[in-house]
Amino acid sequence: MKLPIIDLSSPDRLSTANSIRQACIEYGFFYLVNHGVENDDMVKAFDESRRFFSLSLEEKMKLARKEFRGYTPQDPTLGLQGDSKESFYIGPMADSTNANLNQWPSDESLENWRPSIESFYWKLFGAGKKLLSLIALSLNMDDDFFEKIGAVDRPSAFLRLLRYPGEMGSHEEICSAHSDSGTLTLLTTEGVPGLQICRDKLREPLVWEDVSYIEGAFIVNIGDLMERWTNCLYRSTMHRVKRTCKERYSMAFFLDPHPDCIVKCIESCCSESSPPRFAPIRSGDYMDARTRNTPV
């Protein structure tokens, strides 16, 4: 599959916004290049991810996940059923209350790990915020639309470090088919294949297409909340990770609005002939419902 390539540094913002619009309507996925996060920064972040996952299970379990932050071990019962991975979540850091919920390895176990990962988090946030302004333009809104409605004021932005072991069962998927529940996801990998997308989730049988690796590029996808915001104009596309028998590291940055932000159909995405499909909802309530698998 050849996904569209979006250049975040292009001076022609309107042309870039039009390209984003086409990508979000047709694919829900695109590559993001010249995003301001240097290749050396990504290499260092992957090195830090390896350092963490190389710790003993006992050491990692001291940071066991709570409040959606911290370490989740690989579930041995899933080795033959998919979703065979371990992960570490870093949560919102835009205010001290949320930032203090994060868990960090001690300097004794991983020296300078926290400042390295915090620095990478903020660089991803900067790229994501610039991209959101272009997405607003792509929807024929002012480029500060998401700022004005409070979506990027202390947003619910999470960084997830992931490791998929190389040896596992015979199941085809190591991350089962899903769509992301939030607004926007920026994904980076080191080139180990496995990511696939399904552009038509209603088609039977499902058709899965491989997403190629482009060095230095983020793979960006639209989540369910953005699909809701745009009245289903922009698509939240199903994706999965298939088994390759190779150890695989990836990092996903989920840029979601502040929980108190009200998500309602964007004005340019509805009309008399295409009325809003969904009632307005508080972002935090929507995400909580998705966590509980409750219809919203």
pLDDT in tens, 149-166: 999 888 999 999 999 987
Residues 187, 195: Cα–Cα separation, whole Å:
11
pLDDT at 167 over 70: no
pLDDT at 267 over 80: yes
Q: What is the mean pLDDT of residues 74-79?
A: 62
pLDDT at 79 over 50: no
- Kindly report the CATH number assigned to the domain that includes residue 214: 2.60.120.330
pLDDT at 32 over 70: yes
Q: What is the pLDDT at residue 168?
A: 59
Q: Are 247 and 84 in contact (CB under 8 A)?
A: no
**Residues 195-229: tens digit of each pLDDT:** 999 998 888 888 999 999 999 999 999 999 999 99
Q: What is the pLDDT at residue 82?
A: 52
Q: Which residue has the higher pLDDT, 171 or 173?
A: 173
**Residues 105-150: tens digit of each pLDDT:** 999 999 999 999 999 999 999 999 999 999 999 999 999 999 999 9
For residue 136, the enclosing domain spans: 5-293
pLDDT at 80 over 60: no
Domain count, the chain: 1
| Position 169 confidence tier, pLDDT thresholds 50, 70, 90 | low
Q: What is the mean pLDDT of residues 178-205?
A: 92
Average pLDDT, the chain: 92
| Position 83 confidence tier, pLDDT thresholds 50, 70, 90 | low
Rounded to 10°, the helix 13-26/113-138 angle is: 90
